[in-house]
Structure 1
Amino acid sequence: MGIDDVPDPESADGDPRWRLTPTKILATVILLVAIVVPLLTWTYARDTPRLFGFPFFYWYQFLWVFLAAGACYLAYLLLRREARDYRNGRHDTVNPPTGPPPDEAPDDAPGDATDDALADDASHRHGKAE
């Protein structure tokens, strides 16, 4: 699936890119601040304070170039961490767990008596005695 492809509605439930998560909300807020604050002209429409002889308007806007770049990088790191956690099987960072706790093993867990009995039966069939 490419970056611009829209998945089928049935498969969209399993695709973490289409789920709204706290990390995605935080990244959105960070990016919105970096976009909206420089557009608020009343915050910088003045001459003072000056920095190295530059009026406030110039150095404030120039500062926001670096702040916006930092905000983009922070949002990227947050979303990359969420995607990496999902790929590594830590789905609890994307969605809270809904199943039983992981310390409860199912009845047919490996190493139970049924597996041992089958292994003994297979060794006797092949003529191997214990």
Structure 2
Amino acid sequence: MREIVSTADAPSSALYSQGVKAGGFVYVSGQPGIDPAHGALAGPTIQEQTRQALANCRAVLRAAGATWDDIVEVGVLLADPDDFAGMNEEYATSFPGTDPTRYVAKLGVELPGVLVSIRMAAFTG
């Protein structure tokens, strides 16, 4: 059984679901560093956008009934690989010692001003 997850607390699109619950897992679509309250990027730096992208993921997880401790995998897509250190700086504040698996790759499309997109999978049992 599959359940679509949505929340006003994260950016959305008519082209994909913010999240999907299936078989004890929650899959969160790639979230950019866009502040849903204003519909604009959280700022011009990789740290600001990483912080907001993680907050957006957290909002989708919460809407699905999952917690931060349920995360098993994180995927990070960077527009510029040179932003890796700055992204890691902010990312580390969200996972102090409870690190899920993670991959980092180059973002395959260019979106004006978007520096990062973060997706997640969580297991709720």
TM bucket normalised to smaller: under 0.3
Higher relative contact order (CA 8 A, sep 6+): 2
Please, what TM-score do these two structures have when normalized by structure 1? 0.24
Structure number, greater radius of gyration: 1
Flag the structure with higher helix content: 1
Please, what TM-score do these two structures have when normalized by structure 2? 0.25
Flag the structure with higher strand content: 2
